[in-house]
Amino acid sequence: MTEIQADDLIIAASPAGSDAPRKSVWRRFEPTILGTGTIVLLLLVWQFLPDFVPMKAGTKLFFTVPSHIAGTLWDMFATGSIWKPLGVSASAFAVGLLLAIVVGLPLGVLLGRSATLNAMIDPFITAFNATPRLVFLPLLMLWFGIGIWSKVAVVFLGAVLTLLINTYEGVRNADKLLINVVRSFGAGEWDIARLVVVPNSLPFIIVGLRLAIGRAVLGVVVAEFFGSQEGLGVVMVRAASQFKVDIVFAGLIVFAALSLIMTGLVKLLEDRLTRWRPQHSNAG
């Protein structure tokens, strides 16, 4: 026992023991540092690539560097030329995603809780999910025109099935023992869904929401590329036709930033809603 205590004292007094907090800080920020460092390295390689790799005149016409893209993006925000198309795209994205959440979440819970309703609707969901959303664009343009509502419809179709299917899977995987316990205390279906099913399905719902955000952004881009007169995607198409590659990349960055911001907000929501879950320890 004395030898063990002496060894513990030696370890605690050693320099390695004093470096433990540094290691924990590094491990905490390691993914951020490595990810940021990789992005910076790739941007530097991209920036100086024309200085080391000879390019033909035709190739340079379709090539740009990060500094030019950043300058173009700054000018677009400074002059205000980006605000109107960005507002159009963001509005279609927000309305379509909101409608997908309002429809997809309740319907996913209902299908997961009702075998009869699931048997009736599942063939339609399977068929629509297996069909590329792009094939609906001509019909949506005929029904809703080439304004914002056709884009909203494309965003809705792209996001709702992803959210619905993930919610359904979460409901089906809810703790059946806990459901029976709550039912034994006289809880109705509404109470079971509110107290047990939805909280247990949160990880599935969050994953579905993250995927739905990506599908929603994709829906906006596709709709504006092929059937719209306003929006950031339209600006990108017109710039591409005029060989303004820096504007195309600027629009791409804005769409990527929109996805990252929305995904970050979902992550914050996830952290807030799942605080009640116990933290499992790997010790022992």
Residue 6 burial by CB count (10 A; 0-12/13-18/19+): exposed, middle or buried? exposed
Q: Report how far apart, in Å, the C-alpha atoms of 227 and of each of 70, 143, 271, 279 are.
A: 28, 12, 38, 49
Task: Specify the 3-state DSSP secondary structure of 207.
Answer: helix
Greatest mean pLDDT among 171-175, 188-192, 197-201, 231-235: 231-235
CA end-to-end span of the chain, whole Å? 21
The token pair that represents 20 in the structure block: 């433990």
CA–CA distance, 132 with 156 (Å, rounded to integer) = 13
Mean of pLDDT over the chain: 79
pLDDT for res 103? 92
Give the residue-averaged pLDDT of 5-22.
45
